Chain A
Amino acid sequence: MSDMNGPKGLTRRQLLSRASAAGASFVVGAGFVAAPNGAWAMETAVLKPQTMATLVQMARDIYPHDQVGDEFYVIAVKGYDTDAAAGGIEEGVAKLNAAAKAAGHDSYLAAGWERDRVDILRGMEDDPFFQQIRGGLVTGLYNQKAVWPIFGYEGASYEFGGYIERGFNDINWL
């Protein structure tokens, strides 16, 4: 699978992403996951591709930002694709799918409405698996420097001389 070439090439265990919005669903092949529009693709090392796709959807359902592309959610969860983490993740996603089935869906991903998926998540809110994913996202998603501009956050300012001449008091609507 290491020769699965996207527009920028794809190496093992490495995310390929472009800074464009990705589709909400996935093309899932043997060993890799990709956005339908090719905006990003990921070859999984240990996790089942379906599991990775479920994790990405789960991440978006926990912290949904419609202006933030899937590629950032992928980055936020790809750290679970390791020998050490994968066992617990497969187990957790199996639990998630079981809860989805109990709620009348074929799987978590098959639940078409965010509302239905969120109901499933609410039902397992105290589960360590849910808390592991949610807790990891707090830094995994919001501490990506590439995400900050989407929210308007400007990050470090010292190297630009601070804001003393760059609008620290430029508010004009009061």
Chain B
Amino acid sequence: MTAPFELSDDSVVVIIGTGAGGGVLANELAQKGVSVVALEAGGRHEPQDFINDEWDSFGQLAWLDPRTTSGDWRVAKDFSGLPAWIVKSVGGTTQHWAGASLRFQDHEWKARTSYGDVEGASLLDWPINAAEMDPWYTMAEDKLGVTRTGDRPGLPGNNNYKVFEAGAKALGYKDVHTGRMAINSDENRDRSMCQQTGFCFQGCKWGAKWSAGYVDIPQGEATGNLEVRSQSHVARILHNDTGKVTGVEYFDKDGNLQMQKARIVCVAGNSFESPRLLLNSASSMFPNGLANSSDQVGRNYMRHMTGSVYAVFDKPVKMWRGTTMAGIIQDESRHDPSRGFVGGYELETLALGLPFMAAFLDPGAWGREFTTALDHYENMAGMWIVGEDMPQATNRVTLNSDVKDQHGLPVANVHFSDHANDIAMRNHAYQQGQAVYEAVGATRTFPTPPYPSTHNLGTNRMSERPEDGVVNKWGQTHDIENLFVSDGSQFTTGAAENPTLTIVALAIRQADHIASEMSAGSL
């Protein structure tokens, strides 16, 4: 069913990356009859290929090409070559994601207006709003099969959730449930029902969790309009002397450089690779990189304000059993500056296996303070904190020409330092998270530092005015009309919610826009 397109076919839309943005966009365009070539740096991994083993799975799926880090974030010290825990595979990080599918709150679409002028932050309002996004969110929820939306029931709570819920209620939190998850909660759907296996981060072997890799990509391929070339790493986007893009150069699976022509190019390589590619595509006409007349490519990198809280109890919890993240407290997600910061955060259940707990509980720590925590691994409960972080122009992805990847291309350096608002919010969240567990008898709690980032956002941000950002409200670059950005790097601000649902909703909306502009002959 795969549609082979010629390298010289300049009628195709080339999509770079097949994750939540690119994978969905590829399917949606293919469904509308548009010819698509999707180039994906990673290989194909189907549910049966996934591994219920944290490090083995990490070796199978994680993006391990070199990257460098700088800034005062602790990740730069503890995991200097691994700023992100994201995936190199057809389906991208939707293979790994936990499945939490939350809509932005209305005020988060206009962060600059809602929060005012926050010193040191480069806040903007999005050029789109909640009402405009509502139907696209509904389509995204239906596509992903999000629980607690439509007629889909919630997932049952596992042990980790029960501890979390009991603590939350004891503390007086009201908005507490097993989450809105892109994990099938009943028998009567296209995908299998969740079998409470755990290992959601390692790829769902049941296919109960939505992934672009084994849901959208095969659907798109079945139309005959989508060709996915895996293990194809795009090196450069090409343009003509009128400044329109004309195709891409990529290294194929054998390491040979190929050139694919294109009518439209959509970049969806995530918030590191997308700006890196635009910067690596610099030319005499665009010496600062493509679509970078604003100098905003790579800037305003956001990673969410994150952290975790683990707690030890005097009795077993066995938190690793069951869905990794089906539990949420939403009461703190509101904007309420009386807490000492703008924006809000979500608390979500999270479990790590013993191997990753050893690596991430307190990276670099050793001795009995550390090991006595692990001694009680069976009695541990855990939650993850995810909140809105402030965009800062100086937090940015740049090219590091001193370090080259396997293709000889300069790698991305990821520079990040927390904003004072991020720190105040994290401290508040640590306190609340620890209180949740103490309310149900925790004997010890651990305010655990952020892991390598999974939510990477903002490095090609959407803006009303061309001088403030890289793309317009359709994800179309301000500078080049047939060049689009289709991943989380479009995010103007990060909001408090896990970003995948919004990336998917934007991709569905973008597909609709591109297809109609193509029919109208304006693209």
Contacts and interface: CB of A to CB of B under 8 A. Distances in A.
Interface of A: 61-65, 67, 118, 134, 138-139, 141-143, 147-148, 151-159, 161-164, 166-171, 173-174
A152 B377 contact: yes
B315 interface: yes
A36 B353 CA distance: 33
B367 A169 contact: no
B440 interface: yes
Nearest to B358: A142
Contact of A138 (B199, B206, B358): B358
Given A153-B378, A156-B52, A174-B166, A167 B318 contact: yes
Contact of B55 (A143, A153, A158, A159): A143
Nearest to A122: B367
A134 B377 contact: no
Nearest to A166: B321
B198 A174 contact: no
B287 interface: no
Nearest to B322: A168
B354 interface: yes
A153 B377 contact: yes
Given A148-B354, A154-B320, A156-B53, A164 B163 contact: no
Residue in A138, A141, A170, A171 with the greatest tally of chain B CB atoms within 10 Å: A171
Interface of B: 52-55, 156-159, 162-163, 166, 194-199, 205-206, 315-318, 320-322, 353-355, 357-359, 364, 366-368, 370-371, 374-375, 377-378, 440
5 contacts: A139-B359, A151-B375, A167-B321, A171-B159, A174-B162
SS of B interface (majority): loop
Contacts of B205: 158
Contacts of A166: 321
A170 to B, nearest CB: 7
A151 B377 contact: yes
A162 B196 contact: yes
Nearest to B353: A153
Contacts of B353: 153, 155
A104 to B, nearest CB: 21
B52 to A, nearest CB: 3
A153 B162 contact: no
B58 to A, nearest CB: 10
A40 to B, nearest CB: 21
Given A64-B367, A64-B371, A153-B353, A169 B199 contact: no
A154 B321 CA distance: 9
Contacts of A159: 52
B371 A65 contact: yes
Contacts of A157: 52, 197-199, 321
Contacts of B358: 138, 141-142
Given A151-B378, A167-B318, A158 B197 contact: yes
Contacts of A67: 375
A151 to B, nearest CB: 4
SS of A interface (majority): loop
B254 to A, nearest CB: 31
B163 A163 contact: no
A155 B320 CA distance: 9
A63 B52 CA distance: 25
B442 to A, nearest CB: 12
Contacts of A155: 52-53, 353
Nearest to B440: A174
Contacts of A163: 158, 195-198, 321-322
B447 to A, nearest CB: 20
Residue in B194, B317, B322, B354 with the greatest tally of chain A CB atoms within 10 Å: B354
B128 to A, nearest CB: 39
Contacts of A62: 366-367
Nearest to B379: A152
Given A134-B366, A139-B355, A142-B355, A168 B375 contact: no
Nearest to B158: A168
Contacts of B364: 134
A169 B162 contact: yes
B169 to A, nearest CB: 11
A118 B54 CA distance: 30
B163 A171 contact: yes
Contacts of A61: 367
Given A151-B374, A155-B53, A158-B52, A164 B196 contact: yes
A159 B195 CA distance: 11
Contacts of A138: 358-359
A168 B162 CA distance: 10
Contacts of B370: 63
Contacts of B158: 163, 168-169
Contact of A170 (B159, B206, B374): B159
B197 A162 contact: yes
Contacts of B371: 63-65
Contacts of B159: 167-171
A171 B163 CA distance: 9
The 10 A-B residue pairs whose C-beta atoms are closest, nearest first, are A152-B378, A162-B197, A162-B195, A156-B52, A168-B322, A142-B358, A168-B196, A153-B354, A163-B321, A171-B159
Contacts of B195: 161-164
Contacts of B206: 158, 162
A171 B52 CA distance: 23
Given A138-B358, A151-B374, A158-B199, A168 B321 contact: yes
A155 B356 CA distance: 12
A63 B364 CA distance: 11
Nearest to B198: A157
Given A151-B354, A162-B195, A173 B315 contact: yes
Nearest to A139: B55
A169 B378 contact: no
Contacts of A156: 52-53, 199
